[in-house]
Amino acid sequence: MSHAVIIKDAVKKYGDFTALKQVSLDIRPGEFFTLLGPSGCGKTTLLRMIAGFNTVDGGEIRFDDKVINNVEAHKRDIGMVFQNYAIFPHLTVAENVAYGLKARKVPKQEIPGRVEEALKLVQIEKLKDRKPNELSGGQQQRVALARAFVIEPSVLLMDEPLSNLDAKLRVQMRTVIKKLQKRLGITTVYVTHDQEEALAISDRIAVMKEGRIMQVGTPEQIYKKPENAFVAGFIGTSNFVDCQVQGDNPENAVVDIKGSHTLKAALKTPYTGEAFLSARPEQLFFDEKEGLPGVISLSTFLGDFIEYEIQLDGGQTIQLNEYTKDVHTVRPDGERVLINFNMNAVSIYRADTQEVISQ
């Protein structure tokens, strides 16, 4: 039975430094939930508080209705997968996987069958008699996964489990993890600083910065509708362009880009003042009639799309992507172009608060 993980106003301090600043989250039973952010943002600190490895200095953490702030780590019914695997070098694969079952005093006659089942889940049953030093990094990670799954925890915690693998193996292993989690239905809290990994693997994501939650949403919401400039800049690639907004009529606001191009946008509430546009490379397009003037400084053919680096006449460099299914030729370097915006997709932020104001 998977638990909901409810975090309310959680605080963690180290002396005068506050690592977590009243963080609140509601993680649903069976959900794959990712804590995403740069180094030092507090994501691993929060994970270790859920695990019971760090004390809670304020607020509370609950599994369903039970407050676990002072529950010892080994009594929390969690599985943990660490960045460095943390498997025992002197034990075989099977012995490593069995370790947690023995610690939980599972009847001896049940252990071999459950170990075999766990090894089959991660597709390493043929390696059960090998020692860790005879395994590749990906195989060692599968051992760590099997050891976490075999105890059938109510909550599974994963701390950057793929960061020590090469790029190709990371993609393979994140697929393995996602399929296993869906099959078993275990509430999973996953920590990573890799945006692509978070988008690919998560049901929902919490983006963190300096001990605070900046946005919680599905991968699509986080990518397409960032709520502030930090999320827009941290997730994927964004072009930021300064503008002036005249939005007394928020349904039909005028967006002026340094006098060189004027656009119309819908705002959440009236606003007039300094702002900036945030546009993904695929939210820009070449326009034959109007737009920001510039010159293509670099074109790169990448198979399914063409990546253009464009130097605007104002001096700023932006990135625009065209998909090869929509175009038949690559524009040459040095070509003068006009760049326009898909205003149904871009976001507009106030310059002072950096909060989103567009609908």
Helix-strand-coil split of the chain, %, nearest 5:
30, 35, 35
The predicted pLDDT at position 345 comes to 94
Distance, in Å, from the CA atom of 155 to the CA atom of 77, rounded to the nearest integer, reads 7
Output the pLDDT for position 65. 95
DSSP state, residue 136 = -
* Per-residue pLDDT tens digits for 117-132: 999 988 899 999 999 9
353: nearest Cα among 288, 301, 275: 275
Beta bridge partners of 18: 13
38 touches 209 (CB < 8 A): yes
Work out whether strand 17-27 and strand 187-192 pair parallel, antiparallel, or are unpaired: unpaired
Q: What's the pLDDT at 164?
A: 83
Residue 61: predicted pLDDT: 98
> pLDDT for 52-89, tens place per residue?
999 999 999 999 999 999 999 989 999 999 888 789 99
Instruction: With a cut of 50, list the residues of the chain below it in pLDDT.
Output: none
Helix (H) or strand (E) holding 329: none
